[in-house]
Amino acid sequence: MTIPSRVIVDDVSIVLCGEAGKGIQTVERLLTPLLMSAGFNVFACKEYMSRVRGGSNSTEIRVSSQKKVAYVERIDILIPLDKDAIPHLANRISQSTVIFGSTKELASGLPIVDVPFDGIAAEVGGAIYANTVAIGLISGLLNVELSVVGKFLEKFFKSKPDEVVRKNIEAAKRGIDIALSFSGAGKIDVRVKPDERVKSDMLAGGAEMIAAGAIAAGCNFVAGYPMTPSTGILTFLSQHAGKFGIIAEQAEDEISAVNMALGAWYAGGRGFVCTAGGGFALMVESLSLAGMIESPLVISVGMRPAPATGLPTRTEQGDLEHALYSGHGEFPRIILAPSTVENCFELSKKAFDMAGKFQCPVIILSDQYLVDTIYNAVPFKFAGAGDNHVTMTAAGYRRYALTPDGISPRGIPAYGDGFVNVDSDEHDEDGHITESMDVRSAMVEKRLRKYEAIKKELIPPELIGASDYETLVIGWGSTFGVIKEALEIIADPRLAALHFTQVHPLHPDGAGYITRAKNRVIVENNATSQFGKLIKLSTGMEIENKILKYNGMPFSVEELVSGLREILAKGALK
Amino acid sequence: MNPKEYDVGDVDVAWCPGCGNFGILRIVKQALAELEIDPRRLVVVSGIGQAAKAPHYLKTNFFNGLHGRAVPAATAIKAVNPGLVVIVESGDGDMYGEGGNHFIHAIRRNPDITCLVHDNMVYGLTKGQASPTSQVGFKTPLQVAGVTEQPFNPMAVAVAMDASFVARAFVGDVSGTKEIIKKAITHKGFSLVDIFQPCVTFNKVNSYQWFKEHTYNLAPSHDPHDRLSAFQKAIENEKLPLGIFYVNENKRVFEDTLDAYQQDKTPLHQRTSNRSAVLSKLFS
């Protein structure tokens, strides 16, 4: 066997691929904290098929000296766990990709460094240890010592019998030994520098951070119907329900879930629903109900490619217009699109506060890519939101009292002497059905007046790069990481990016940044540039350059770099 | 307590003169007064339809939501504050048509709420189309040759699903209906009371007279804990039995199963807890 000669410096992209149920996720769950505990910056994202067993799923783990939090197409090290993995990733495998696996089993025309994971695992004690051999191999390539790996495995498997722990360590040792036999100068030379500070980081994932934000904000009621990619949020909240006094219920359908959440807010709880585009479509009548009864409501929508069932397990930013224009009638709403895993926490928390304060629905628009992204983050305080924005009522309380800012003090039943009456019909200040045209007009104006209060607390877009830019790259939500890294690579002082995390209502600063640019590029994970249309609506500016992707995968750093370079070159010719 | 405490005063009631809803409203007020339920801790939840307007004519808290969706809202209201008395007022279309899925799953979930279903076998608010409980052959502007679908049998479905409390009443029998409603409200768990009430405008078939002639009271010997005999009674269709068909007090009540109340019985809105420390620990 010839060992290829490769030098991989500062940033290594490791991909594991195999059929569903083969434990790729377990490897990710083990390897990411293990590498972080060894001081490496880690980033992981995954793509998977909509099936329980079989198919080909892959996880990318980027290990880097400097923190990198974006998907790259490039694969430096590939561990295919079965025969189908190599064809599945054919477009991403290049001559510089080092593939480890059993030459015999993979039967591929590509050069493979022969590591018979299953055979080694069998020697250790069974096929179940194959993944740990792979973990050892990767650890070895990154020069992580056996003692560090062993300590981690002991902790990870602490609830398992001693024999299991011992065999896992043995399997990892075998992996490390193999790695050492072909790593180093002239062979496979991976030079990523650990950073002492990373060891005290926390490993954070998008789904968990959306859930954590809700918890910090005082969410105490969640109802949902399982739907990729949002199930993880519901699962997290359910698993920690007792600890935080959260009622977590799997509803019979999304319509039930959202009406439960509205009932929860009405009775003084802080209700949350999490779903994807299709489930959100079912909730839409109730979104309108929230608008009418002026109930707070927080809905997390994890976007995935549609129409209809689409590509159920993949990613897209295709539901912005759905979130914005859904629901019959005219009523205020707020749409937040988290940009990073940390921002998932911040915005999820903020969503509850905004919903309570403005008594309107707030939609958190994430996507499969972001909710399934994990990386090491500097630990933050998880500080909670204080006020629950509820008033004790007095006799004669009027739920829809007309106020200058349109926001009526919100009472809840049995908290004070007043009665709390809410109605989906047009209603008077007491909440009773009315068909008075005068009252109707007053109530429409009252509800829409809340937009003025909302507009005082908008989240401004973030400028990445110098303010004397010529070309401005515009993005929203989960594309933050990839746009930022692409800009760092291009390193052109004339290039900056403007990133939005509140996509409705838009902060007025956005228009100023956009109109000031000589050239504009919009980057969106959808086919029709939905955010571009929104910008045109609010600024009148047509964004001339669009980089759009809608095949179900997130943008890679490479394709964004080349797309932007192309546009920059075009601009230079002008 | 005087039932008048539940009066809203001068209000334009949207029901037709002679509508069975008036009778149900009067009976509900009497039942609530006799049970001494403080209107401040009562929440009446409804969907859409003529029956669903009932909460507007009661001086208490109400949540008048969407068509068919009263039950999920009511379930959550009770769950978030178990100290509240939660009653759903709904019609046959609201509960068994648009809300059918929620009806079935609420029985499984078993929240401590009471569903009063005003059943007039017709759609009133949309002007006379068939409802899920309309009888075969019933002619309407939409079902011009008469209804062909079998009517939904809420008693049979509820008993089949081992619902916690299953009863049927007829508004023409004031004291009988009142007693059933009182028992339903005091019963801990999901209670269904299907209440026959004539729609004087759109259902000329199932009139007061018709209900009188086509119903009878379950014999005092009927044992509501005998599920098989309850089911037998539920599927009778020559003459329709009235009374408490079935009771199962042994089912776990939804609120009691919730993790949130295992250690702390305080309603959720009164709790203050520092969650950030626990969260930090979780992610450290």
Residues 276-335 of chain A whose Cβ lies under 8 A from any Cβ of chain B = 285-286, 289, 293
Q: Quote the minimal CA–CA distance from A41 to chain B in Å.
A: 16
pLDDT at A186: 87
Separation of alpha carbons A140 and A121, rounded Å: 17
Q: Residue A50: which residues within 8 A CB-CB, separation 6 or more?
A: A228, A311, A312, A313
* CATH 3.40.50.920 is held by the domain A462-573: yes
Q: Give the pLDDT mean for B120-141.
A: 95
Q: Tell me which residue in B48, B69, B109 faces A286 most closely, judged by beta carbons.
A: B69
| Domain residue ranges of chain A, discontinuous segments joined by + | 6-200, 204-377, 391-455, 462-573
Enter the CATH code of domain A204-377.
Answer: 3.40.50.970
Q: Residue B188: which residues within 8 A CB-CB, separation 6 or more?
A: B112, B164, B249, B253
What percent of chain B is modeled with pLDDT above 90? 93
Q: Which fold has domain A6-200?
A: Pyruvate-ferredoxin Oxidoreductase; domain 3 (3.40.920)
The residue in chain B having the minimum alpha-carbon distance to the alpha carbon of residue A238 is B259
Q: How many CA atoms lie within 13 A of A571 on its CB side?
A: 18
B280 touches chain A (CB under 8 A): yes
**Do the domains A6-200 and A462-573 sit in the same CATH topology, yes or no?**
no
pLDDT at A574: 46
Helix-, strand-, coil-residue percentages of chain A, each rounded to 5:
40, 20, 35
Q: Quote the minimal CA–CA distance from B60 to chain A in Å.
A: 6
- Whether ipTM > 0.85 holds is yes
Q: Residue A360: name the closest of A408, A290, A412, A428 by CA.
A: A290
Distance of CA A145 to the CA centre of its chain: 32
Residues 79-108 of chain B whose Cβ lies under 8 A from any Cβ of chain A = 79-81, 83-84, 101-102, 104-105
Three-state secondary-structure class, residue A533: helix
Q: Strand pairing of A221-224 and A271-276?
A: parallel
Measured between beta carbons, which residues in chain B are less than 8 angstroms from residue A379?
280, 283-284
pLDDT at A1: 64
What pTM, to 2 d.p., does this model score? 0.97
- Given a contact cutoff of 8 angstroms between Cβ atoms, the answer to whether A106 and A79 are in contact is no
Q: Which CATH superfamily is domain B3-253 in?
A: Thiamin diphosphate (ThDP)-binding fold, Pyr/PP domains (3.40.50.970)
pLDDT (tens, 9 = 90+) of chain A, 574 residues, equals 678 899 999 999 999 999 988 888 889 999 999 999 999 999 999 999 998 888 999 999 999 999 999 999 999 999 999 999 999 999 999 999 999 999 999 988 899 999 999 999 999 999 899 999 999 999 999 999 999 999 999 999 999 999 999 999 999 999 999 999 999 888 999 999 999 999 999 999 999 999 999 999 999 999 999 999 999 999 999 999 999 999 999 999 999 999 999 999 999 999 999 999 999 999 999 999 999 999 999 999 999 999 999 999 999 999 999 999 999 999 999 999 999 999 999 999 999 999 999 999 999 999 999 999 999 999 988 988 767 899 999 999 999 999 999 999 999 999 999 999 999 999 999 999 999 999 999 999 999 999 999 999 999 999 999 999 999 999 999 999 999 999 999 999 999 999 999 999 999 999 999 999 999 999 999 999 999 999 999 889 999 999 999 999 999 999 999 999 999 998 754 4
Sheet holding B85-91, edge to edge: A421-423, B61-64, B42-46, B85-91, B114-119, B191-196, B165-170, B240-247, B215-217
Q: Tell me which residue in A267, A289, A384 faces B76 most closely, judged by beta carbons.
A: A267
| Domain residue ranges of chain B, discontinuous segments joined by + | 3-253
pLDDT at A572: 58
A vs B, Cβ pairs < 8 A, gives 191
Contact criterion met (CB < 8 Å) for A247 and B102? no
Interval B56-98: pLDDT, tens? 999 999 999 999 999 999 999 999 999 999 999 999 999 999 9
- Given a contact cutoff of 8 angstroms between Cβ atoms, the answer to whether B60 and B43 are in contact is yes
pLDDT at A100: 96
Interval B8-35: pLDDT, tens? 988 889 999 999 999 999 999 999 999 9
pLDDT at A385: 72
- Given a contact cutoff of 8 angstroms between Cβ atoms, the answer to whether A519 and A471 are in contact is yes
As given in the structure block, the two tokens for residue A299 are 């809905």
pLDDT at A573: 47
Above 90 in pLDDT, residue B284?
no
Helix (H) or strand (E) holding A442: helix A437-455
Interval B198-217: pLDDT, tens? 999 999 999 999 999 999 99
Measured between beta carbons, which residues in chain B are less than 8 angstroms from residue A439?
none
CB atoms within 10 A of CB B271: 13
pLDDT at A388: 83
Q: Tell me which residue in B78, B273, B282 faces A245 most closely, judged by beta carbons.
A: B273
